[in-house]
Structure 1
């Protein structure tokens, strides 16, 4: 299993749903899926069960979808206040009814291997990820679904605050407290960059992103860092969004940037190795070490920022661009399965995207997806 995300900015607009065509074909409820991965000996199509839903995504505007009795929902008023929808599609972006996208308790996890759609019992899901704000750091790690462990990609991230620039490399997500291992206790490598020289690299340890452990209680603060002064401040997400006292905030597996929706400071960030992400395998990432990746860190200079466009945080979901197949010459859905929570939080669903019809450069056209309850 693996889960990756990527940021995207959008506007909350209500589409003219008269242009959305929906055909819902009831198939089985998935109860015929055989135990084990891939439904060995059965239909080779991993998404042969469940309900098929077909709906049009226009090049402008947003389409809202419910997963119980799958169909398109015509949302009246502000969609952020509505619990009628579970997923929203805008161009090639997918959002859940959660976080800054909606007032619901939705979210998603994935992509899983396509065969997971037919596993019985279903695979363990570490947690459903609600929509949030994020940017360049969203894909700083690769996820090992079997060991439930995060591995740093050791990408070099550039941070720009006015004329000042830094480079940052995440070393590890794991630390120790009282001799016991603990997750979300970061260690990073950082250095300020100057036009005529590079500053000294420093390691900053025990950056506290534990944030109430797996519950991620929004009232629990996590640690935020000012790269210029070294000041470390514990802030809740709400407080961080109004505070100019930090460059980076650490909260569970998320690293926020104090710019755009992340905060008021106007900080921008860029992943200098971001173009390599789609081609990186978990096995490749697992072999990387702090010592082995120092040359990558050293290679970034002040001039590396030229012609780049560092950005702050924007609204993102678990889908990011990983629901799209990076190996395809044309836009097609990736061959993976997703677990999505309803807006009420009471039911989870398996989703398998099986095709786009009449896709354009701005829209997948007609999206074809299979949906069935996640019985676990």
Structure 2
């Protein structure tokens, strides 16, 4: 543990970024901010030292304050990311993106150990689908060793991978670690079907980056999403398999779910749906009471096969409330989980409050509740049916997990008839 802490204390010092060091006034302002951060951790987190010893936390804070004169602002922020990460729960984070920031214009996704470009801006469309090999000479495997000590939103190895896919694009983080320069484009190297391709890439605004998600649109199975008045949740009715498929991408309020429950029940009764799929893949959380409200709306419908016909879909980005609802739906809906393990820990610190540093205005979050959702100690909700999408299916727009579950339900629907 001491070696890990020592590594965290000096990682940013070992890779000096080419940025202006803090002047005396800035050092004083950051000293006040760091003291505020440390007080809030100790007084507002429900159990701040569940993983990291308080003495080790104090050592990291003291070292950061002592070294302020040798650091730039971005290096201070990276150090605060590392300290927050060392506390050891995915809802306790220093939010580097609460200040000005840019992103490299890519969305990445792992397929096995291969990290591929799944979306980018028009200027770089020729790089779609290629495997990222390195950034400024630092390999992806080496980056995957360096970055996890700083990544927010991490409960386990699955959310670590999901967070890495996203934060690898954050220019300020890579700059603070000395991997990229502040103003010069970074040299990215990719591998495609025809060999290696190198490109000098400049970061873009959050507004432009935020338009990216995935260029590979799901084309199979074909779905017709219906607006059910619950923002973030859509419904597709699949007649062939008699299935109601809910794409639970983000969280509405519980009130929005409850106010549209009667209309939803009427629609499901009219459709005669017998099987139920609730898809939490890619859902990083919200208010899990909204998920419970949805389950309360569905449970009175006797038309569903509550013994064998309910599925929940998960992946490494299924986090926080989405992970909680996955566990809860296994219990109260008798659902089977399909896909890959959740990024959230079923026994986890959650319900974070967000605080602003008094001088810099940067924000950080601290967990204020603990939820033990499982009697079995496990870092994730592991699927009953493990299905990992392949790159080839993803490239072709095939939803491997959903296709498999629907094929099983289509067979069951025919058998029932």
Fold similarity call, TM over 0.5: no
> In terms of Rg, which structure is larger?
2
Q: Where is the strand percentage greater, Structure 1 or Structure 2?
A: 1
Higher RCO (C-alpha 8 Å, min separation 6)? 1
TM-score normalized with structure 1 length: 0.28
TM-score normalized with structure 2 length: 0.26
